Amino acid sequence: MNIDTRFQTKPLTFLRSEMACWVGLFTVLLMFTVGSNWLDDLSNPIWFLILFLGLSAAILWAAFGVTRHADCLAIMLGEPYGTLLLTVAVTGMEVVMIVAVAFSGSGAPTVARDTMFSVVMIQLNGLVGLALLIGGLTHREQYFNIQGNTSFLAVITALSGLTLILPKLMPVPPWFLIAATIVLYGTFLGIQTMRHQGYFKFAETEGDDAVDHGHHGLILRPKPYHVALLLLTMLSVVLLAKKFAVLIDHGVNQMGAPVAMGGLLIAVLVLSPEVMSAIKAAGENRMQRSDNIILGATLATIGLTVPGVTIASLMTGNAVKLGLDDVGILLLSLTLLISLINASTGRTNILQGLIHLTLFAAFLLTVFV
């Protein structure tokens, strides 16, 4: 594997290649110094829009930077460690933003639930649907490892039911939710990285037109470099999350929009880089890679968000509501059922993609109507 070291002798190349990091850190410096009072008065809609678009762009740019370094490490580490690192990095940013929005301003108790539900719907319906449709139109049929996908979906189904459905039906002690998510997610990570790595590697029966796509335009540098820049770039997202939470809270209240809109905005913003990676993999006939990204991110969202938000709730005394309403429970149940049925076949086609996209349209209907 060739490791590029040009950044050691060409500082300008290094500075240009890490613009996502510098823009993120510059925005942090700006917001915490001269812009420390910019969020005090958001009554002017033009000023609000400027701040919202500016912070959104900075966070999105930084998120793409985090994803780029995670992708480089993924290539160097191989599967399943690479995809696991990517999903944990992206989900970590998402959890920070969920906690920031949930415990700022009016602190709507359903923000964490709405964001988790939005992520599940976006990932398992919107993103899966697009990946299957694009892959089906390009390659007709694609193949994946049944054991890996069903393992993902089994844990996703269990955790979704325990955290998004059970609290609707009965009071659930916080310690139980924390323990259940940590035990199941931790055990899954052990299965994925140690005992059964083969479940999550590219299926040997992947189409004949599957090729080695190399580094996909990425420049690989020493591992410590990518780790350091990944953490530094992610730091800007973490620090800007609190500021962005104020804007989301104000916008939702001023527009009279449903609280679920805030969760949807967070999910769309943070998941954008991951969406590009998953769709690109499907178009290149690497459906196992696409599935690992999508299902891994969905599982990580629940496995990391529930303990994080629940612990934060216990520490701050702010209430958190996790149970979905009846419509949400129906859509979640249909999504998980269809996903499990499709995973049992080991191959994909455009019909499966259209089914998931239809369910995603139904989810959007519940948010906007």
Kindly report, residue by residue over 96-112, the tens digit of the pLDDT: 777 776 666 555 677 77
Q: What is the pLDDT of residue 216?
A: 55
Task: Tell me if residue 43 falls in helix, strand or coil.
Answer: coil
Q: Which amino acid is at 266?
A: I
Q: What is the pLDDT of residue 285?
A: 81
Give pLDDT tens digits for 9-41: 466 777 778 888 888 899 989 988 888 788 888
Would the pLDDT of 333 be above 90? Answer: yes
More confident: 213 or 159: 159
Would the pLDDT of 60 be above 70? Answer: yes
Q: Which amino acid is at 368?
A: F
Among 32-36, 200-204, 327-331, 344-348, whose mean pLDDT is lowest? 200-204
Burial class (CB in 10 A: 0-12, 13-18, 19+), 21: buried
Q: What is the pLDDT of residue 11?
A: 67
- Separation CA 234–CA 229 (nearest Å): 8
Q: For the CA atoms of 118, 124, 130, 133, what is the dihedral angle to 10 degrees? A: -150
Confidence of residue 217 (pLDDT cuts 50, 70, 90): low
Instruction: Share the mean pLDDT of the chain.
Output: 80
CA neighbours within 13 Å on the CB side: how many for 214? 7
- Separation CA 83–CA 68 (nearest Å): 12
Q: What is the pLDDT of residue 84?
A: 72
Q: Which amino acid is at 331?
A: L
**Could you tell me the CA-to-CA distances from 319 to 31, 102, 263, 314, 315 in Å, in that order?**
29, 9, 17, 8, 11
Give pLDDT tens digits for 286-311: 787 888 888 888 888 888 888 888 88
Q: What is the pLDDT of residue 212?
A: 43
Residue 55 has which token pair?
């912070």
Would the pLDDT of 337 be above 90? Answer: yes
**Could you tell me the CA-to-CA distances from 44 to 30, 35, 246, 336 in Å, in that order?**
20, 16, 15, 43
Q: Which residues pair with 142 in a beta bridge?
A: 348
Q: What is the pLDDT of residue 252?
A: 74
Confidence of residue 207 (pLDDT cuts 50, 70, 90): very low
Q: What is the pLDDT of residue 205?
A: 41
Q: What is the pLDDT of residue 276?
A: 75
- Separation CA 324–CA 76 (nearest Å): 40
Give pLDDT tens digits for 167-183: 999 998 999 999 999 99
Would the pLDDT of 335 be above 90? Answer: yes
Nearest to 59 by CA among 366, 335, 271, 281: 271
Q: What is the pLDDT of residue 259?
A: 62
**Is-contact 116 343, C-beta < 8 A?**
no
Q: What is the pLDDT of residue 138?
A: 85
Q: What is the pLDDT of residue 347?
A: 84
Among 63-67, 167-171, 249-253, 331-335, whose mean pLDDT is lowest? 249-253
Nearest to 294 by CA among 157, 159, 152, 141: 152
Compute how many other C-beta atoms are within 10 angstroms of the C-beta atom of residue 24: 28
Q: What is the pLDDT of residue 336?
A: 95
